[in-house]
Structure 1
Amino acid sequence: MKRWIAFWNILAKDFRTYYLKPPNISWGLIFPLAWTGMFFIKSGKGLESISSILPGVIALSILFGTTSLLAVTVTFEKKNRSFERLLLAPIPLELLMLAKTSGAILFGVVNAFVPILMAVFLIDLGHVDWLVFVPAVFLISVASTFLGLFIAVAVSEVFEAQTFSNFFRFPMIFLCGLFFPISTLPVFLKPLSYALPLTYGADMLHGAIHGGNMFSVPIDMAILAAFCAGLFMVSLGNIRRRWIA
């Protein structure tokens, strides 16, 4: 019971200290809103094009929101040595880091529905397979959050984390099938596309919104789950080696 009390206290503290501050609200919620509006306006092909770009906009909203939040919470606390006090909490390191990342996962899920709320006034979303869409949003949020955690524990400064994040984020825009099929990429880039977790999350979203999956849903979910577990375990290893040892 003490472990879960500590878990919720850490999560609540992060929401009060970081997530509900104006800069993170603007980056985590207003930015996806502006991003979505830009894509919808620039599509220039009428309302029917919104359905085609919606999966990509949703995935980017999740990716940018979660990775940016982790760059602040984890890197800032390590720099100010407040993370060391968290290590005294009566919970294992695994549960501690889940508490530190749960808020970003929730923000990622919220970000995903910003484009949906905008699109619902423009197009009919009755055809969306919500049984696939919701797990896809959750798994993309978890994978993006753990990618942000992996980046945050590898650097010392917040600006370094943001810069390092862009090293992963911007290539994903073009390589993960968000706005155009991976089949149109040059042959030498396709292996890199399949090595990125967002490829499989985007595949699930495309299938849920307008069909046309590259892989079956169970395969996409299994690969995304493997990415989540791998990123989390590598991040924990880095924390033990760099911050605890």
Structure 2
Amino acid sequence: MKPWIAFWNILLKDMRTYYLKPPNISWGLIFPLAWTGMFFIKSGSGLEGILALLPGVVAISILFGTTSMLAVTVTFEKKHRSFERLLLAPIPLELLMLAKTGGAILFGVANAFVPVIMAAFLADLSQVNWGPFISAVFLIAVASTFLGLFIAVAVSEVFEAQTFSNFFRFPMIFLCGLFFPIADLPALLQPLAYLLPLTYGADVLHGAVHGGHAMPVALDLIILGGFCLGLFAISLGNVRRRWIS
């Protein structure tokens, strides 16, 4: 079996089998759409209000979409013991886990452009710097997916994965500078914000949409990439410890 053939087969199987499950539809699609509509309606139709909110709703759409995917694909297969059989496949564990997460990354990137498309009907997006914007979208999707993998590996049931995900997701909404600057947070919470990957992705998105980076774009992307590598390595270590060792 050629490893890359196995990679694509696993990826396509997950996309066909799991991605329209009710938890994915509710948390991965409906919830971000509801947030997007709520914030855009609250802001009115003014250009300035919509552009101010766009980075936040893009990040939320990615975060909820990706973590919801892994809560179903990995946790469901663990419960029915097909995950253990999959680990017997003659391909490297790293490639196997990338196959299990690749669909969620693609879903997260697609989810990110739902609010962008909605905003395009209400505001002029010609001033958006699309290079950093797309780079941040992709790395936020990767980091959020690997966070979802870390959570899914640690629990046994889908509802446990969704609940545990909220332990990370909701604090990030309020601490990562999505809708108001980190400098406005209480002094005790500001250091915590810089321990969360979404902080750096949100900074790039804000700068790409309306300027005003808190940190250099390259540094934001490097740190966000480091979170991606770290979360993936931790998840691989958990898989090896629980199923392979």
Same fold (TM over 0.5): yes
Report % sequence identity.
Answer: 80
Aligned to 2:87: 87
SS in 2 for 1:124: coil
Contact 1:8 1:99 in 2 (8 A): yes
RMSD: 1.4
Q: Which runs of 4+ in 1 moved over 6 A?
A: none
SS in 2 for 1:186: coil
Aligned to 1:116: 116
Aligned to 2:16: 16
- 2-structure distance, mates of 1:140, 1:171: 16
Question: Structure 1 counterpart of 2:140, which letter?
Answer: I
Question: Structure 2 counterpart of 1:185, which letter?
Answer: L
Q: Is 1:74–2:74 an aligned residue pair?
A: yes
The two structures have a TM-score, normalised by structure 2, of: 0.96
Question: Structure 2 counterpart of 1:104, which letter?
Answer: A
Q: Is 1:166–2:157 an aligned residue pair?
A: no
Q: Is 1:218–2:224 an aligned residue pair?
A: no
Name structure 2 gaps, 5 residues minimum: none
Contact 1:50 1:119 in 2 (8 A): yes
**Structure 2 counterparts to residues 1-245 of structure 1, below 5 A:** 2-21=2-21, 23-44=23-44, 46-245=46-245
What's the offset of the Cα at 1:243? 2.3
What's the offset of the Cα at 1:173? 0.8
Name structure 1 gaps, 5 residues minimum: none
Question: Structure 1 counterpart of 2:212, which letter?
Answer: G
Contact 1:150 1:235 in 2 (8 A): yes
Contact 1:29 1:114 in 2 (8 A): no
Q: Deviations over 1:64-90 (max 9, x none)?
A: 010011011111111110011111222
What's the offset of the Cα at 1:28? 2.6
- 2-structure distance, mates of 1:50, 1:18: 33
SS in 2 for 1:19: coil
Question: Structure 1 counterpart of 2:33, which letter?
Answer: L
- 2-structure distance, mates of 1:120, 1:95: 37
SS in 1 for 2:177: coil
The two structures have a TM-score, normalised by structure 1, of: 0.96
